Amino acid sequence: MREITHFIDGVAVTGSSGRYGDVFNPNTGEVQARVQLATAAEVDRAVQAALVAQVGWAQVNPQRRARVMFDFKRLIERDMDALAEILSSEHGKVIADSKGDIQRGLEVIEFACGIPHVLKGEYTEGAGPGIDIYSMRQPLGVAAGITPFNFPGMIPMWMFGIAIATGNTFILKPSEKDPTLPVKLAELMMEAGAPAGVLNVVHGDKVAVDAILDHPDIRAVSFVGSSDIAHYVYSRGTAAGKRVQAMGGAKNHGVILPDADLDQAVKDIIGAAYGSAGERCMALPVVVPVGKATADGVRERVLAELQTLKVGISTDPAAQYGPVVSQAHKQKISDYIQMGVDEGAELVVDGRGFSLQGYEQGFFIGPSLFDQVKPAMRTYQEEIFGPVLQIARVETFEEALHLPSAHQYGNGVAIFTRNGRAAREFAQRVNVGMVGINVPIPVPVAYHSFGGWKRSAFGDVNQHGVEGVRFYTKVKTVTARWPEGAVEDSAFVIPTMK
Ligand code: NAD
């Protein structure tokens, strides 16, 4: 069986823990490889390599670091087809969606190509008599990233793209469910000219994560995953004195006002709810139509769309989504569907019986639709992370605004309307971090930044863009003067700028 090894100091390193994780082919349900799960000593080996590499890497001027990013981008574009195939084969998302996953990461690399401009710092001439002040952003040292299964291309690049461009070296602990692509990315970074030790990949589970969180030489940890683990990572990492950003789960709402273009809004919501089998933190699993006529219109159109929605294997170009990542996750989604029924929601379409001929053991689940979903239901409050759309009917704009605002998660939200004033008010008042106006998946482009609110993110600084640069750098401010002439008296009073 194929064995997936760590990548430390520029070479494949065979782990010694004797512990492995199964890597499935979600289309067939078969185990296709096993991934080594690291010990704390193996994490430390990666940190030592990163520490040594960081000294030299921080000395490389920003323009040359950016050149590595330019070359990395070119190599990913060269290998895009093969990389997308690897991603799909372990994750289960369809090839076109895997290319989108990698492309969104690549956009952060494109931002990182402009790092010399972003790192220029600030300067004040004549801040005092003969005194100039300048500030600079310096790398932290060794940083680490812990990533989820659902974006094995994009999310690692969110992190190491900015960290490495700003002069840090990096330890990536990718999801053990789809670990092959992250290793390929590290190999391509070496091919692009990053010195050995600049990007290391250590596979693992809680043992590796705890070793990262406790390691005294790792200065910053970026995490993306589910909220309970995000909170744990944030608490333990900050208690160890690290800078931590920890993005968590989501339950994004799509509000539809009565004046919206319903045909377009429903098409948008279908893609956002069921694309990637709902396994996106920016999926739109809750639709909130305002008024009965809107709700009935949405339900009728969603039902019509579901008649033609095609679920298939990840290499089927006609498939709109593929299998979910594991049997355990398929079971969890099925359990949530049953819970919804037991809680009294109306199950309009049940995807549990779905089976694909020739792939009966694959982790497929058909699209499901609930109506009459109420805020008190657990299936509303919790993240299902599957191809399940829930209609939560409300009567007024205020109620529609209240639902996402009061929800425990606050990652993304969308409003569909033709009324600019209502959209503007919604965007201003809603208690959620990323808002779409007639945009169903409002993932900000790379030069803005990504981050939710409430239990969707712990920590103060978002991913990528200028926020990402702030996360991976610290400011140093220099106050300088060049005295001449007579020696001045000591000053015992704090200097001020009177
Ligand atoms: P997960 O929390 O199970 O795993 C994320 C990472 O944490 C993995 O690397 C995993 O190995 C590690 N991990 C798992 N259990 C751990 C434990 N007990 N202790 C320490 N580390 C542990 O998440 P997942 O299932 O891989 O990904 C799906 C989740 O990620 C969803 O909740 C989704 O909403 C969320 N997500 C959030 C964002 C965002 O930006 N907010 C983006 C993508 C995914």
Q: Report how far apart the first and last C-alpha atoms of the chain are (Å, whole number).
A: 74
Mutate which of 149, 234, 284 for ligand 1? The one with the most ligand atoms within 8 Å of its CB, which is 149
Give domain limits for the chain. Answer: 2-248+456-478, 253-437
Quickly name the fold that domain 2-248+456-478 has: Aldehyde Dehydrogenase; Chain A, domain 1 (3.40.605)
Mutate which of 281, 329, 456 for ligand 1? The one with the most ligand atoms within 8 Å of its CB, which is 281
Residue matched to tokens 């159109």: 301
Q: Is 147 in the pocket of ligand 1 (CB under 6 A)?
A: yes
The pLDDT, as a whole number, for residue 495 is 84
Instruction: Write out residues in the chain with pLDDT < 50, as ranges.
Output: none
Instruction: Find the angle CA(247)-CA(237)-CA(159) to the nearest 5 degrees.
Output: 45
The pLDDT, as a whole number, for residue 483 is 87
Tokens representing 82 are 């093969």
Going by their DSSP bridges, the two strands 6-8 and 11-13 should be labelled as antiparallel
Q: Is 410 in the pocket of ligand 1 (CB under 6 A)?
A: no
Ramachandran sector of residue 114 (left: φ over 0; alpha: ψ -120 to 50; beta: rest): alpha
* Listed residue (311, 308, 331, 329) closest to 320, CA to CA: 311
The pLDDT, as a whole number, for residue 129 is 87
Sign of the torsion angle spanned by Cα atoms 390, 394, 396, 400: negative
Q: Is 37 in the pocket of ligand 1 (CB under 6 A)?
A: no
Closest residue to atom 28 of ligand 1, CA basis? 225
Between 3.40.309.10, 3.30.420.40, 3.30.540.10, 3.40.190.10, what CATH number should domain 253-437 receive? 3.40.309.10
Residue 281 annotated to the active site: yes
The pLDDT, as a whole number, for residue 487 is 92
Ligand 1 midpoint to CA 232 (Å)? 11
The pLDDT, as a whole number, for residue 327 is 97
The pLDDT, as a whole number, for residue 133 is 97
Note whether 37 and 19 are within 8 A (CB).
yes
Calpha distance 432→196 (Å, rounded): 41
Which residue in the list 281, 324, 415, 461 is annotated as catalytic? Answer: 281
Whether the model clears a pTM of 0.85, i.e. scores above it, the answer is: yes
